[in-house]
Amino acid sequence: MGASYYQFCPVAKTMELLDERWTMLVVRELVGGDRHFNDLRRGLPRMSPTLLSKRLQHLVAAGVAERHKSGVEVRYRLSPAGRELAPIVAALGAWGIRWIGELGDRDLDPKLLLWDMHRRVDHDAVPAGRTVVRFDFPAVPPSQRTWWLVLTPTEADVCDADPGFDVTLQVTADLRSMTEVWLGDLDWSDALRSGAVTIQGPPDLRRGVPAWFKLITFATVPRPDRDQRPINSR
């Protein structure tokens, strides 16, 4: 439990609960709906399972989250109180996308990017049948360089190993540019025109790709005027 501030102020009481490292990110993951422990891990790859477990226990004990066990399966979800944190998480993200400046190289992560993208696939826009998109980030170390997204009108799976299906489309991208596209800081069209992102495959499918992925929810947040400076996140 975070140490107390010994203040009656509701802001202080709320932050006692939420200002511990990682806590808000766990909530962020839960805002998306029910989650298995290992789903949460995939969205929080740098968090140790011990710590995730601890945070979840806190949130459950506090009444912000609930743990539902059916058989061997465990699902975490937000309680009614926890669900009311959703607008706060949204506001934090909107603030961040407005004011945080350039990302550090260390903030770029193909694993998280693909994991995020697969959650925002627009299944109505994806072709019937199975579409396999292979992503390559040439500048990234080999172990994180290549990813497969297997898309169907009902499902989306990320693989870090070749799933064995024929590749429908090959996307080759600069990781930073692809991330900027995802964040709404760079248009797909600009990224493709500049060559920062290239797509190989049947032209009709190729042109469809940008519509298959809804961007991060914060992508549409209006940015500050140019004369306002971003803050220094580092």
Partner DNA sequence: CAGTATCCCTTATGATACTG
Partner DNA sequence: CAGTATCATAAGGGATACTG
Residue 156 sits at φ, ψ, to 5 deg, of: -145, 125
Instruction: Answer yes or no: are the C-beta atoms of 12 and 2 closer than 8 Å.
Output: no
Q: How far is CA 151 from CA 43, 65, 154, in A?
A: 19, 31, 8
Among 21, 193, 223, 234, binds DNA (CB under 7 A): 21
Q: What's the min distance (Å) between Cβ of 51 and DNA? A: 5
The Cβ-side half-sphere exposure at 16, using a 13 Å CA radius, reads 13
Burial bucket for residue 109 (CB in 10 Å: 0-12, 13-18, 19+):
middle
Using CA atoms, how far apart are residues 125 and 16, in angstroms rounded to an integer?
43
Instruction: Select from its own copies, DNA, none the partner in contact with residue 75, using the beta carbon and a kind-dependent cut-off of 5 to 8 Å.
Output: DNA
Instruction: Select from its own copies, DNA, none the partner in contact with residue 50, using the beta carbon and a kind-dependent cut-off of 5 to 8 Å.
Output: DNA
Instruction: Select from DNA, its own copies, none the partner in contact with residue 48, using the beta carbon and a kind-dependent cut-off of 5 to 8 Å.
Output: DNA
Stretch that binds DNA, among 17-25, 95-103, 112-120, 215-223 (CB under 7 A): 17-25
Among 17, 24, 25, 74, binds DNA (CB under 7 A): 74
Which residue, 38 or 200, has its beta carbon nearer to its own copies? Answer: 38
Q: What's the min distance (Å) between Cβ of 6 and DNA? A: 9
β-pair partners for 134:
148, 170
Which residue, 84 or 187, has its beta carbon nearer to its own copies? Answer: 84
Instruction: Select from its own copies, DNA, none the partner in contact with residue 32, using the beta carbon and a kind-dependent cut-off of 5 to 8 Å.
Output: none
Instruction: Select from its own copies, DNA, none the partner in contact with residue 51, using the beta carbon and a kind-dependent cut-off of 5 to 8 Å.
Output: DNA
Instruction: Answer yes or no: are the C-beta atoms of 67 and 26 closer than 8 Å.
Output: no
